[in-house]
Amino acid sequence: MRIFTFDTTLRDGTQGEAISLSSDDKLIIANKLDELGIDYIEGGWPGSNPKDKEFFARARETQFQHARLTAFGATRMVRNKVEDDPSVNALIAADTPVVCIFGKTWKLHVERALGITEEENLELIADTVRYLKAHGKEVIYDAEHFFDGYKADRNFAFRTLAAAMQAGADTLTLCDTNGGTMTAELARICEDVRKNFEGILGIHTHNDCELAVANTLAAVEQGFQHVQGCTNGYGERCGNANLTSIIANLELKMGHTTIGKERLLHLTSSARFIAELANLPMRGDQAYVGHSAFAHKGGVHVSAVLKDSRTYEHISPKLVGNRQRVLLSDLSGKGSILYKLKQHGLEDRLDDAARRELLDRIKQLEFQGHELEAAEGTFELLVREALRPGMQFFEVVNYEVITRGNASTANVTLKAQDNVLTASATGKGPFNALDLALRQCLSTLYPAITGVQLTDYKVRVIDSKKGTAARVRVLIEWSDHQRSWATVGVSENVIEASWFALVDAMRLELMRLSEQDPNIQKAVEDYCWGV
């Protein structure tokens, strides 16, 4: 069955805590959703704020290849004639092919929030839908609080749907606005609605009981063809139904068509792109598209996955544009090590004994708090050191840093190629000063090292019971403009932990460069012989 997708990230999603999108952000996201093959993109409420009004004005210049841009609003106010209602006229002025309006379904809201009669509420719905249809709009009617309204008074809830349908609404959407309806109950109500109303029915659920995706799928099972939600489950309170998961489930588990199998390959990249633009961390455990969705850590799991991925993966991650990952930790087995060696093209260069030794070293580092599953750069360094145990580009003789006020000065001394190199640098902080001094020492011998740049820096307390004397783990992400990697350092001293991660990053990059630059390789070999 063809299921129509309606993404409300740009409207309902922005009502979530910590989400704020500029007009530029919204235009970029709208284009990304269009590329993904979303059918309807709800851009905002033009009658509620200047930002959304600006967005729709700018969106008129955008040619969407697939999606139909949708403006959102409410039924007319009771004191206004529909043609004089500013909010309704703002929907017309937005100049979108589709308008989505919501109306009251729950008698509690009609009587307490609006303070009007049931008949007056029905008139608001019918007048607004009829007026929008007269202006050539496709109208999606969202029945707000439908499931609560149905449970309070089924007859009245049905009359509100009938008012919208008879006025010409193209889609009737049932909203679980408070997110409190259990799946079995929602399915029974949807079945009742399907028996009594023809045409396209939609579902709009919230995640307050962690059931939004399940509730949406339950509605589809009752013949609903229109699903609403937000990318990554963004939205007010606990969020809207996660449209990303809904799409994958409908396509891969239930045999329906949404964006199609070819576009499904871009699901992960689109979800992560939108998370990045929203300046929010992507949930690692998010189904299908999360960084951890196909990650394996336990040795038994890894061993089985290496033989047949179906043993611990419900689908191939490639179907949604994700990838399989094997994490290294104290739970790792030989299978994990073998997987990682293959990942780096090194599987034939360590024998069984060397692999066991490497595994023991990893487990010891994990015990100390290094957490290598997030620091694949440190793991790669360990492997390369195991492959070439005599290689040492430099030896740290001494380092120190002194901070006075806002300025920090670092002194670093290295031994490299039978030379003693010393540098002093002043930085904006102790770690910046150490970084500058280390690079000064190394750049004379290895100029390419200047291309390594810090891109992220995270600190985590390991044993908090010790208070300010606790050990900390510093995870630093790096880039040389071709690839990215992370290294980790652990110490009771956060500067020392940072230093360890910094030194490992430089050692790793030099080892990589040595495989490309024969001069570096020869210099290192000469130095190794002299030690």
Q: How far is Cα 282 from Cα 9, in angstroms, rounded to an integer?
A: 15
Q: How confident is residue 448, by pLDDT bands cut at 50, 70 and 90?
A: confident
Asked if the model's pLDDT at residue 391 lies above 70, the reply is yes
DSSP 413: E
Asked if the model's pLDDT at residue 75 lies above 80, the reply is yes
Q: How high is the pLDDT of residue 445? A: 85
Let me know how many helices (H) and strands (E) the chain has, helices first: 19, 16
Cβ-Cβ contacts under 8 Å for 177 (sequence gap 6 or more): 144, 145, 146, 148, 204, 206
Whole-model pTM over 0.85:
no
The token duo for 50 is 């200047």
Q: How high is the pLDDT of residue 139? A: 98
* N-to-C CA span, the chain: 72
Phi, psi (5° rounding) for residue 372?
-75, -15
Asked if the model's pLDDT at residue 181 lies above 90, the reply is yes
pLDDT digit string, tens, across residues 16-62: 998 988 888 899 999 999 999 999 999 999 977 888 889 999 999 88
Any idea which of 10-14, 229-233, 337-341 has the lowest mean pLDDT?
Answer: 337-341
DSSP 206: B
Mean pLDDT of 175-193: 98
Task: Name the residue type at position 147.
Answer: F
pLDDT digit string, tens, across residues 471-528: 888 888 888 877 778 888 899 999 999 999 999 899 888 888 877 655 555 544 443 3
> Structural domains in the chain?
4-277 (3.20.20.70), 295-366 (no CATH), 395-530 (3.30.160.270)
Mean pLDDT of 443-461: 85
Asked if the model's pLDDT at residue 531 lies above 50, the reply is no
Helix axes 494-514, 376-387, angle to 10 degrees: 50
pLDDT digit string, tens, across residues 305-318: 767 778 888 999 99
Q: How high is the pLDDT of residue 529? A: 36
Q: How confident is residue 387, by pLDDT bands cut at 50, 70 and 90?
A: confident
pLDDT digit string, tens, across residues 210-222: 999 999 999 999 9
Cβ-Cβ contacts under 8 Å for 518 (sequence gap 6 or more): none
Q: How far is Cα 257 from Cα 251, in angstroms, rounded to an integer?
A: 6
Asked if the model's pLDDT at residue 299 lies above 80, the reply is no
Q: Compute the mean pLDDT over every residue in the chain, rounded to the nearest whole number.
A: 87
